[in-house]
Structure 1
Amino acid sequence: MNQEVVRLTSVVKTYGGERNRVVALDGVTMGFSRGSFTAVMGPSGSGKSTFLHCAAGLDRPTSGSVVLDGHELGGMSEVALTRLRRDSVGFVFQAFNLLPALNVLENVTLPLRLAGKRPNRAAVDAIIERVGLADRRKHLPGELSGGQQQRVAIARALVSRPAVLFGDEPTGALDTQTSLEVLGLLRESVRFAGQTVIMVTHDPVAASHADRVVFLADGRVADELSQPTAELVAERMTHLGAFAAAGVA
């Protein structure tokens, strides 16, 4: 269970030319163990989204190494990267990104069909039941609440049994109660199914559901917190904001 499913080593990501160069990530090194739940936080412009894109193979770092599910991403072709993301990575975003003309079952199984795989009906039914939508499988997205649509997105992300699930503000569009339900579902997938979850969030309450919180500031790892509480996370974020504003972090 301690095997790392994602490892970034000295990752640098810059944008622009020499005159307008922006350093989004500045030597980030961190690992994520299999079966763990990590929240990534930081002030606006700290590099959270760039980190997620590099860690998930959506963007290539300027320098440094990213290893995802045993694969070094640096030397992989775009075709190989696409295949790896399809087979080993699940994504859950703030926008649910469901196809409105497809029902719950069809949206959940879409990644398998696009990959040319025949869905295992029993396994798909088990995932839909796990996210609490067994009686909604024939409903269209427009007939579901926001929380139910995010549950569909989580089921779709888990259906291919990915090595890691990346969440980008997955509760950002949900009310407080629904957010807690979705976070509980992610927590459950880690605890009972051994899923690895890496979630970018700005919400201390959301982060408190993780095993660990990693804080970024100015593209660097500025702090880390194990067994977080919402109060501790909020306090660290306040300090990070002050450090970032002062150019210290």
Structure 2
Amino acid sequence: MTTAPAQGNDDVVRLDKVSRHYGTERNRVVALDDVSIGFRRGTFTAVMGPSGSGKTTLLQCAAGLDQPSAGSVVLDGQELTGLDEKELTRLRRERIGFVFQAFNLLPALTVADNVALPLRLAGRKPERGAVDAVLERVGLGSRKSHRPGELSGGQQQRVAIARALITRPAVIFGDEPTGALDTRTALEVLRLLRETVHRGGQTAIIVTHDPVAASHADRVVFLADGRIVNELYGASADAIAERMTHLGAWGDPAAAGFAEGVV
């Protein structure tokens, strides 16, 4: 296990004192509670935590899909607070790639057309050869004329990754991107994401419940009760799973001393 790198000014995504509340004052639910964290360029981070810990809310706030109740979010140098929906939509199309558990491919379109869709929605034409290049990068150069129904689940997720890459985004967000895949296919997709980060310079942030998936990341961030309670760097699946079993202790101040000693 490696030590944490020093915090620098190379954060592609930065959350400062971000809180997200739902409901009224009487029945308020706190999804995120004063969270500050940065995600550096060229890194792969997995976010983990029990159900209701705030994982998906953190991802949605970081991606401009949800508005924090307090705090600020900066993505690729752009402060998201105060942007209207049109500006946020433009930013997401140009600077963010999304990969979800559901592949979200349009069945009537070819693989190539699905990949080019984000550019066309933004009113742009793909550069000559760009779609072919990104499909080669994910190992699907020979499948560009196929439709999603003619592909396996793993191949469809590769198309989704190619679609996320076509705009050359600053960051790729994934919400359980391997949740619908078998173990072998999931590992192939995770290796592809890791290669994309380390060779292409993108930043990847995924939410996952799977310690094996998280072990492919450079850093694993753990949430409990809307707060970041711990991080691991270069950790094995076993170490991540062990840490997950003790997350509840961080939410209990009386048990904090015990939790800090858990490996």
**RMSD between aligned residues:** 1.6
Tell me whether 1:8 sits opposite 2:8 in the alignment: no
1:135 pairs with 133, 142, 158, which one? 142
Deviation of 1:41 (Å): 0.4
Tell me whether 1:35 sits opposite 2:60 in the alignment: no
Which residue does the alignment assign to 1:85?
92
Q: Which amino acid aligns with 2:135?
A: I
Aligned partners of 1:245 and 1:128: how far apart in 2? 48
Query: Structure 1: where are the runs of 5+ without partners?
Result: none
Aligned partners of 1:242 and 1:134: how far apart in 2? 48
Tell me whether 1:71 sits opposite 2:73 in the alignment: no
Aligned partners of 1:248 and 1:217: how far apart in 2? 14
Deviation of 1:211 (Å): 0.4
Query: Structure 2: where are the runs of 5+ without partners?
Result: 1-7, 257-263
TM (norm. structure 1) is 0.97
Native 8 Å contact 1:190 1:196 kept in 2 = yes
Deviation of 1:236 (Å): 0.5
Aligned partners of 1:213 and 1:202: how far apart in 2? 11
Tell me whether 1:46 sits opposite 2:53 in the alignment: yes
Deviation of 1:247 (Å): 9.2
Q: Which amino acid aligns with 2:32?
A: L
Identical amino acids, percent of aligned pairs = 71
2:171 pairs with 164, 170, 189, which one? 164
Which residue does the alignment assign to 1:125?
132
Aligned partners of 2:110 and 2:225: how far apart in 1? 42
CA-to-aligned-CA distance 1:65-95 (integer Å, 9 cap, x gap) = 1001101111211111111111000000000
Tell me whether 1:212 sits opposite 2:219 in the alignment: yes
Give the secondary-structure state (helix, strand or coil) at the position aligned to 1:121: coil
Give the secondary-structure state (helix, strand or coil) at the position aligned to 2:129: helix
Which residue does the alignment assign to 2:101?
94
* Matched pairs, number: 249
Which residue does the alignment assign to 1:189?
196
Aligned partners of 2:255 and 2:73: how far apart in 1? 27
Native 8 Å contact 1:12 1:62 kept in 2 = yes
Native 8 Å contact 1:43 1:244 kept in 2 = no
Native 8 Å contact 2:229 2:250 kept in 1 = no
Aligned partners of 2:163 and 2:187: how far apart in 1? 19
Deviation of 1:191 (Å): 1.2
CA-to-aligned-CA distance 1:32-55 (integer Å, 9 cap, x gap) = 001100000001100001001000
CA-to-aligned-CA distance 1:185-215 (integer Å, 9 cap, x gap) = 0010011111100010000000000000000
Give the secondary-structure state (helix, strand or coil) at the position aligned to 2:67: coil
CA-to-aligned-CA distance 1:115-161 (integer Å, 9 cap, x gap) = 11111132221110011111111111100000000000000000000
Which residue does the alignment assign to 2:116?
109
Aligned partners of 1:245 and 1:135: how far apart in 2? 54
Which residue does the alignment assign to 2:229?
222
Aligned partners of 2:230 and 2:255: how far apart in 1? 13
Native 8 Å contact 1:47 1:216 kept in 2 = yes
Q: Which amino acid aligns with 1:217?
A: A
Tell me whether 1:177 sits opposite 2:177 in the alignment: no
Aligned partners of 2:57 and 2:252: how far apart in 1? 20
Aligned partners of 2:243 and 2:125: how far apart in 1? 47
